[in-house]
Each structure stands twice: as structure tokens, then as C-alpha cells.
Amino acid sequence: MARINEHYQKLQAGYLFPEIGRRVAAFQASEPDADVIRLGIGDVTLPLAPAVVEALQRAVGELATAEGFRGYGPDQGYPFLVEAILEHDYRARGVAIDADEIFVSDGSKQDSGNIQEIFAADSTVVVTDPVYPVYVDTNVMAGRSGAADDAGRYAGIRYLAASEANGFAPGPPDEPVDLAYLCSPNNPTGAVMSREVLAAWVAWARESDAVILFDAAYDAFVQDPALPRSIYEIEGARECAIEMRSFSKRAGFTGLRCAYTVVPRACAGRTAAGERVALHGLWARRQSTKYNGVPYPVQRAAEATFSEEGRKQTGEQVAYYMGNARRLREGLGTAGLGVFGGEHAPYIWLRTPGGLSSWDCFDRLLGGAHVVGTPGSGFGPAGEGYFRLSAFNDRARVDEAIARIQRLGAAGW
Ligand code: MLT
């Protein structure tokens, strides 16, 4: 009989969002008339921008012709998209990246989950806590941890608490670790790393020969131009960091699927014998073996987000969601809740009222206000006592959710 990968059995319950989905479905089955407002999973709600739709349709039309038909695309993405990425995401901010350092893909979830495959099975891993569950779960699946304790902390994985005291942006550990996952703007706390904190991480990684896996999927939500959007804005990061970015949240591509990962040629790991090896070649080999790329029309659609019209239209979408975030911050703050995040990210991080546990708060909001959020403890032990609300929804629904939560608070939770 085939033996299973027993590391999967260490994983906690289900993946967070399907678990929430199950609980909401059970609630709706018991209260079918309840008008439930979903501010849980961070999924976009606005329709695709006109410039994106036009590019998609044009590209599909091309595929319908003998001259325009295309089969497999280039391994790392079409040059038209790679060039647009380089121009707008990097050169515009004074960052030099080479075209062949970009790997176009169908999502940062996949890339941040798959990247660990190119590192040794006994690599040590550090995450900030609370954390996007993908970073931890994929390392557990790969056998880089022991069992989880009662709080959900896996043995062998280093957790750095992101707390109110450090502005939810902890600095590097005081010991060498092989791989560090960072996410800024952060999912779930909505905090953003300052240039100083990020520079401290880069200095630590260079000193301890670690690799930083930097998830910048929410870069477009940064409102202050002085804050870093890319880790490569920090001197020396090309030698120690891999960066992931996505069109999902910045341009409404959660259904279309397009993202990219940057693996600079200067970024290296080493063999057991101590030989330095560029990570670029390993990731290129991994991707060309297991992946055939993003569909041509979707890459054209992603390219269109960088046109003048595309930037304007997707910028308006980001501004709309950030308007929701501002309303949530203000509305829930006046209801007496401890409110964090939401200034440079589409997530609001709340201290649960009255000392409720994260899941009790979930049940209270769902049962009492018919609002779905995400329990902070689902993102890691340090998320206990916190709760995440997403700003991705219709403005009127967000306002309605705020009013309902205020009423619940006035009634004493
Ligand atoms: C979330 O709600 O945390 C996001 O939707 C996760 C994701 O982008 O995969």
C-alpha cells in the first residue's frame, strides 16, 4: 500500500478560509434569512477594469486567428509583460532588476508555497506571528517542523511575535536562521514595514547568510511614497532576498490569476559541502519542470494594468478599497475597538472586545451582526485576541457592517 506523507497529519484542522466557509454555511443553514456581510477572506469585489477587459478580449481574438494563435508561452513570461513590470514596478522606483530575474506565475500563494522546495529539507525557518498560513503549512508539509503545540505553534519553526509593542513589524531574530518569510504590507495585521526595519532584516540576512522570502502582494496599497514597496529598495537585498508580487489585489485578478516572483542572480544558497549556488537556476529548473505559465490573454490583461488607462483605473479600485479601510478604521474606532492596520493595506486588525477569544469574536460577529471576519488566532498563536476585517467589499455593505458592529458594541457585545 502506498505510504502517505505523514507530515500532512501534523497540520492543524483545515486551511483557514475553507474552515470559515464551513462555519458560515452552517450558520446560513440555521438562519437562511440572515443577510450575511462577508469581510473575511481578502477577495476583491469590483469588476475588472475596462482596460483589462479590452486587453483580454483582444488577446482572445488573436488566439482565434491563424496568425495570432499561440501555444506554450516563454517559460518565465512574455517579454511584453516582463518589460512592463520592470518599467513600472522597479525602474520607476530606482530599482534595477534584469528581465531574466522575473518569473511570471499564476499567484503569490503558489509561489510563496512552492519556493521552499529549492531549499534543504532541514532548513530552519522563521516567520512573524500572526502569519499568512501558507508559509508555515507548506514547510510543515515538507517536514521542516515537529508537531504543533496547543497554541498551534509547530516545533522547530521560529515565531517572532508581531505585537502592538513593535507596531506589528518585528525586527530580525537574534540568531541565524536559514529562511525568513516577511510580508509587507502585512497580511493579516495590515502593518507596513518601515525602511529602517526592512534594512535591519536585510543586514541580518546578509550577516547570517539567510534568504528572505518577501511577499509584497499588497504593495499597491502603500499610501506613503516614502515607505518601501519592494525589498530591493534596500541596499544589499539583491544578494539575500526573493520577492513576490501579484496582480490579484492591485488589479482584481484573484480569479484571472497572474503574479510574479523575482529571483536575483546574485541571491545564493549553499550545498552541504559549502559550495555557493545561485537560487535563480534552481527556481528556473523547478518552474520549467512543473509549470507551463500563465495564459497569453491573462498576461496581456496584466500588461494592460500598466498602460496609462490601466494604471488610472486600477488605481481608482485600490483607492476605493482604501476608502473602505478608512471607514472601517474610523467607524470601529469610535465604537471603542482597538483598531490597527488599514492605512497602507486593505486589512483592519482589531483587538477583540471584552477579552473575547478570536473564535468567540467570530461567532459573536456572525451571530449578532451577521458579519464574517477572520479570527486572528487562525493566523498563528500571537493572533489570539485579535480579529481581521477585509476592506474588499461594496461601500454600502461596508457601511452597513460598521453600523451593525457599532450596534452590537453599544449593546455590550
Ligand atoms: C486572505 O484573505 O488572507 C487572502 O485572500 C489570502 C490569499 O490571497 O491567498
366-385 pLDDT, tens digit per residue, is 999 999 999 999 999 999 99
Phi, psi of 18 (to 5 degrees): -60, -35
Measured CA to CA, the distance from residue 129 to residue 159 in angstroms comes to 6
**Alpha carbon 300 to its chain's center:** 23
Q: Which atom in ligand 1 lies closest to the alpha carbon of residue 217? A: 8
Q: Is 135 helix (H, G, I), strand (E, B) or coil?
A: helix
Task: Please report the atom of ligand 1 found closest to the CA of residue 132.
Answer: 3
Residue 381, number of CB atoms within 10 A of its CB: 17
CA of 67 to the centre of ligand 1 (A): 39
What is the reported pLDDT for 269?
97
pLDDT at 335: 83
pLDDT-derived band at 12 (thresholds 50, 70, 90) equals confident
Reported confidence tier of residue 413, pLDDT bands at 50, 70, 90: confident
Nine-digit cell string for 65: 486567428
State the distance from the centre of ligand 1 to the C-alpha of 302, rounded, in angstroms. Answer: 19
List 244's β-bridge partners, or say none: 215, 261
Q: What is the DSSP letter of 88?
A: I
Q: Which domains does the chain have, with CATH numbers?
A: 12-47+309-411 (3.90.1150.10), 52-306 (3.40.640.10)
Q: At what angle do helices 308-334 and 50-63 cross, to 10 degrees?
A: 140
Q: Where are the beta strands (DSSP E) in 313-400?
A: 338-341, 347-351, 371-372, 374-375, 386-390
Q: Tell me the backbone φ, ψ of residue 169, rounded to 5 degrees.
A: -135, 75
Q: What angle do helix axes 395-410 and 308-334 make, rounded to 10 degrees?
A: 10
Whether 15 has a pLDDT exceeding 80, the answer reads no
Specify the ligand 1 atom closest to the Cα of 187.
3
Give the mean pLDDT of 221-232: 97
Q: What is the Cα–Cα distance from 294 to 335, expressed in whole angstroms? A: 45
CB of 186 sitting under 6 A from ligand 1: no
Q: Could you give the dihedral angle defined by the CA atoms of residues 406, 410, 412 and 413, in that order, rounded to the nearest 10 degrees?
A: -10
Pocket of ligand 1 contains residue 109 by CB under 6 Å: yes
Does the reported pTM lie above 0.85?
yes
Does 42 sit in the ligand 1 pocket, CB within 6 Å?
A: yes
